[in-house]
Amino acid sequence: MLEGHSNLTLIDGDGKELERVNFTLLVNMEFIHTFEVEAWQEGDLGLRLQLDGQELTPVPISNVQVRVDDGANSQATLLGLSVLSVFIAGIILFIANSRKNNQFSFDEEE
């Protein structure tokens, strides 16, 4: 491989340039870059890479699917834990109050 300046372009399915990275490589040097893409539709995004104006290379990623929102499940779990915590705190207060009352009656018997 020869030394030189190159550019790598990420293009979406509509032909729009999403990101361009310019880099310089020296002999025996590697270049790693991660593209971040936010999907606005389901299915194949048609992403392609282009290096130095050469022919487009498809990006092998699976189809985009709708993300399942686990917010409702986590809220229900949080509500259940809150109710359980209040219930346990009530039992502890009841036991503490009962012991306190038993202690007063023990003192009266002496």
Mean pLDDT of 15-43: 85
Residue ranges of the domains in the chain? 4-58, 69-110
Mean pLDDT of 5-9: 90
Q: Report residue 14's pLDDT band, with 50, 70 and 90 as the boundaries.
A: confident
DSSP the chain: ---EEEEEEEE-TTS-EEEEEEEEE-TT------------SSB----EEEETT---EE---PPB-PPP--HHHHHHHHHHHHHHHHHHHHHHHHHHHHHHHHHHHHHHH-
Mean pLDDT of 40-46: 77
What is the pTM for the complete model shown? 0.52
Mean pLDDT of 19-24: 91
